[in-house]
Structure 1
Amino acid sequence: MKNKAIQLLGESILPGESKTIDVEIAKLHTTTKLKIPIIIERSKIDGPIVLFSAGLHGDEINGTEIVRQIIIKKINKPKRGTIICIPIINIFGFVNQSRQFPDGRDLNRVFPGSKTGSLASRFAHFLIKEIIPIIDYAIDFHAGGASRFNAPQIRIVPNNSELKELASVFNTPFTLYSKNIQGSFRNACTRLGVKMLLFEGGKSLDLNSEITKEGVEGSKRFLAHLNMLNPKKEIKPNTNKTIFIEKSYWIRAHFSGMFIGLIKIGSYVKKGDTLATISDPFGKIEHKVKAPNNGYLINVNDAPIVYQGDAIFHISTQLEGLN
């Protein structure tokens, strides 16, 4: 694509050009049109094409805020190459503050989609056919669902040295090895050769400034690594190195009741440490939740009420290079 126009959604983007393309994905039953803005910034110097996307689940608003800040801070104006930002993929869910598409489907489970399938499937097909084929690298921003707060983390497939290097560059507190899920956006992008990092941080229907900062600063480090960061943008030093987690699992509640977490997200705990209490509302019973093993708490349930069997803490069991 050296010194040539990029063709996207029927439009040409020339070197050095900025363009916003409003894509009409469907109409509501009221005939109201819903459009998704796709924001493209291209340098005059040839280079990679990077996608920053969020809002695949419409209630995961913190990811949208990260991409919004990348835009308003002009981090998306590259030194070389092209940066494409889609702050909200699932505009339906964002409007309704819902995870799902209007047809009740999880968009992140229907990729690569179908031209003649459900509404969610058709939109997944559109993304895969019209946008992803020109992308070299992508970062997709997510948050925890159902009141579960994720520590800032990058998720990558195991045994991929290039993704591991990129995760080290992005440098969130944690990097989790996790296999691609069938039907997910990440899986579909991987099959098309896109090098994708999946960012998780915070929880749904919430904005958290610390999570936003992690996402924005990590994105700047990522672009600097690709020699794409605008030279006017400074990178804040981060002496900590991401902790690679090979294995982890969910601690589940043994009792129902009022839930009070006692340990800060991201903390390292030792076996037997008290992590939370679960109490009845009448002051008769209080159960302690104790750590079953040493490990980092990478997700905490923020719900005030839990039921027996609910996932309440996600804890690491094996770090890379350690048993």
Structure 2
Amino acid sequence: MSAKELTILGETILPGQGKTLNMEIARLHTMTKLKVPVIIERAKVDGPTVLFTAGLHGDEINGTEIVRQMIARNINKPRAGTIICIPVVNIFGFVNQSREFPDGRDLNRVFPGSKKGSLASRFAYFLLKEIVPHVDYAIDFHAGGASRFNAPQIRIVPNDANLKALSEVFNAPFTLYSKNIPGSFRSACSKLGVKMLLFEGGKSLDINADVTQEGVRGAKRVLHHLGMLNPKKNLRLAERPTICIETSAWMRARESGLFQNPTKAGQFVTKGEVIACITDPFGKYEKKVRAPHSGYIINSNDSPIVYEGDAIFHISVKMG
């Protein structure tokens, strides 16, 4: 719960105050400082502390747009408790439009980090030390990589009733059960007792309006559920229950070629249905791609060219 005084990065934020702080972890090789803005808004009424993060991978811009809209529309100003927003965690990768940190490491695989480790490891350590101990709930926004488009979805660990209930409140089109990956931000937060939802939607280096609105609306529902949403903000109620997916499987290309893909993420397909086509560039052959089983397409490859063995569809197998 929010204390009367909240001190982050050496700054004290009182109830009713809002501040933008800057995390300064290191410099570029040009000696240029890169600051990571941390936007904090507190209500006068006590309540939970919720953290919204995006851009852990610097090229996943859709998540940044979701958090940006929450700030621009004053959704991050709570009626109770505290909301912390970090729209771009990996500012280094964001500047370079790349997934990794400048040291070549994936920030989402080095948690809990180390005070004297690599650049990415030091940043992970600093984030867990300075920000996360104040947090009760978190939503971390991601997007698909390598031209693969994720249908809007929440990912939670299996057999956690609290997270399951929270995912139902968020009400993304899909909820996927997936174990915590060692070294991930989600895993580190879980070990510290933070209830985190991981949102996936869209693809890297892209902003999709539908995905953005799913993210913003879901975050608003969670804030409303926690008694934190400003009553002046319109709340769109869920129109359908989230579809829970216990298991899913990747489908891979059997040939290399031009990928003709009319099937969108989120679509339901039936076993044997033609969902794409792989052709050569010279008009000599066309190979039909058929669904190996019935299920929802939760990730679809948007690349115009694929190679044999490339992941082209992620399809649900078993519903919860």
Shorter-chain-normalised TM-score: which range? Answer: over 0.9
1:2 positional shift: 6.0
Q: Deviations over 1:185-228 (max 9, x none)?
A: 00000000000000000000001000000000000001000010
| Change beyond 3 A, Cα 1:124–1:3 | closer
The equivalent residue for 2:147 is 147
Asked if the contact 1:260/1:276 (under 8 Å) is kept, the reply is: yes
1:3 positional shift: 5.7
2:223 maps to 1:211:
no
1:239 positional shift: 1.6
Q: Pick which of 140-149 and 255-264 moved more.
A: 255-264
The equivalent residue for 2:5 is 5
Q: Deviations over 1:49-80 (max 9, x none)?
A: 00000000000000000000000000000010
1:263 positional shift: 1.6
Number of residues paired by the alignment? Answer: 320
Q: Deviations over 1:157-188 (max 9, x none)?
A: 00000000000000000000000000000000
Which segments of structure 1 move beyond 2 Å, counting only runs of 4 or more?
none
Whichever residue aligns with residue 240 of structure 1, its letter is R
> Following the alignment from structure 2 to structure 1, what is the Cα–Cα distance between the partners of residues 2 and 225?
21
> Following the alignment from structure 1 to structure 2, what is the Cα–Cα distance between the partners of residues 55 and 268?
29
Identity of aligned residues (%): 70
The equivalent residue for 2:82 is 82
Q: How does 1:219-234 map to 2 (within 5 A)?
A: 219-234=219-234
Whichever residue aligns with residue 70 of structure 1, its letter is M
The equivalent residue for 2:35 is 35
Q: How does 1:137-176 map to 2 (within 5 A)?
A: 137-176=137-176
The equivalent residue for 1:120 is 120
Name stretches of at least 5 consecutive residues in structure 2 with no aligned partner.
Answer: none
The TM-score with structure 2 as length reference comes to 0.99
> Following the alignment from structure 2 to structure 1, what is the Cα–Cα distance between the partners of residues 228 and 4?
18
Whichever residue aligns with residue 215 of structure 2, its letter is G
What is the DSSP-based 3-state SS (H/G/I as helix, E as strand, rest coil) of the residue aligned with 1:34?
Answer: coil
What is the DSSP-based 3-state SS (H/G/I as helix, E as strand, rest coil) of the residue aligned with 2:23?
Answer: strand
> Following the alignment from structure 2 to structure 1, what is the Cα–Cα distance between the partners of residues 54 and 41?
17
Asked if the contact 1:61/1:206 (under 8 Å) is kept, the reply is: yes
Whichever residue aligns with residue 258 of structure 1, its letter is L
RMSD: 0.8
> Following the alignment from structure 2 to structure 1, what is the Cα–Cα distance between the partners of residues 231 and 175?
27
What is the DSSP-based 3-state SS (H/G/I as helix, E as strand, rest coil) of the residue aligned with 1:111?
Answer: coil
The equivalent residue for 2:49 is 49
> Following the alignment from structure 1 to structure 2, what is the Cα–Cα distance between the partners of residues 238 and 138?
21
Q: Pick which of 22-31 and 2-11 moved more.
A: 2-11
The equivalent residue for 1:277 is 277
The equivalent residue for 2:299 is 299
Name stretches of at least 5 consecutive residues in structure 1 with no aligned partner.
Answer: none
The TM-score with structure 1 as length reference comes to 0.98
Asked if the contact 2:2/2:48 (under 8 Å) is kept, the reply is: no
2:236 maps to 1:240:
no
> Following the alignment from structure 1 to structure 2, what is the Cα–Cα distance between the partners of residues 257 and 17?
56
What is the DSSP-based 3-state SS (H/G/I as helix, E as strand, rest coil) of the residue aligned with 1:183?
Answer: coil
> Following the alignment from structure 1 to structure 2, what is the Cα–Cα distance between the partners of residues 143 and 2?
30
Whichever residue aligns with residue 168 of structure 1, its letter is E
Asked if the contact 2:295/2:317 (under 8 Å) is kept, the reply is: yes
| Change beyond 3 A, Cα 1:213–1:34 | same
> Following the alignment from structure 1 to structure 2, what is the Cα–Cα distance between the partners of residues 229 and 197?
18
What is the DSSP-based 3-state SS (H/G/I as helix, E as strand, rest coil) of the residue aligned with 2:149?
Answer: strand
> Following the alignment from structure 1 to structure 2, what is the Cα–Cα distance between the partners of residues 263 and 117?
44
Whichever residue aligns with residue 162 of structure 2, its letter is E
Asked if the contact 1:262/1:274 (under 8 Å) is kept, the reply is: no
1:26 positional shift: 1.0
Asked if the contact 2:2/2:81 (under 8 Å) is kept, the reply is: no
